[in-house]
Amino acid sequence: MNHDIKEKEVRLIGKDGEQLGILSIKEALQIAEENRLDLVEVASNSKPVVCKILDYGKFRYEKGKKEKESKKKQKIQVLKEIKLKPRIDKHDLEVKTKRIEEFLEKDFKIKVTVTLFGRERAHGDLAVKILDDISNNFKDRAIIEKSYGSNESQKYIMISATK
């Protein structure tokens, strides 16, 4: 910006967007000062460097405003995790299933994890059975990504709301 530009010649764009041509840095700075505006380097990769005459404070304000506006339009994906054990009771599984339904209504992505301890690791099919039961409950209402994982102490599936 202004005197920090080290190039000898610049392609100058006026305050209204018109091309003023290739000028020396001194001439460009003089034109910017006459208009009581700043000389801002826009494209440093080109030959010669492209500079624009504008109000730098107003430029930064509008840029920040655009960034805030674009952040408002973004949708943040929330990941919730439900942890189970293979010896879970039927009622407890129903409670966890209701919790998954609540998360799906709020469009959260859910990771259902069954953790195996000690000798349970030899019976990974128990965890797979529980995860299959849960996925069967939600197969018509949600997208289910079945990847039980290569870890023998944990098996999991991912559930996300249908779009």
Report helix, strand or coil for 52: strand
**Which CATH topology does 79-161 take?**
Translation Initiation Factor IF3 (3.30.110)
150: its two tokens: 């290569």
Q: Is the pLDDT of residue 163 over 70?
A: no
Determine if the peptide bond prior to 48 is cis (ω within 30°).
yes
pLDDT of residue 155: 83
- What percentage of residues in the chain have a pLDDT greater than 70? 96
Q: Which residue has the higher pLDDT, 80 or 17?
A: 80
pLDDT of residue 1: 67
108: its two tokens: 């959260």
Q: Is the pLDDT of residue 4 over 80?
A: no
What DSSP character marks residue 17? S
Residue 53, beta-bridge partner list: 39
Distance CA 138, CA 91 (A): 17
Q: Is the pLDDT of residue 3 over 80?
A: no
Q: Is the pLDDT of residue 44 over 80?
A: no
Q: Is the pLDDT of residue 138 over 80?
A: yes
Q: Which residue has the higher pLDDT, 92 or 139?
A: 92
Q: What does the pLDDT look like over 71-108, one tens digit per residue?
A: 887 777 788 888 988 888 889 989 999 998 898 888 88
* Prediction pTM value: 0.53
- Which residues in the chain are classed under CATH 3.30.110.10? 79-161
What does the mean pLDDT of the chain come to? 82
CATH H-level superfamily of 2-69: Translation initiation factor 3 (IF-3), N-terminal domain (3.10.20.80)
- Which residues in the chain are classed under CATH 3.10.20.80? 2-69
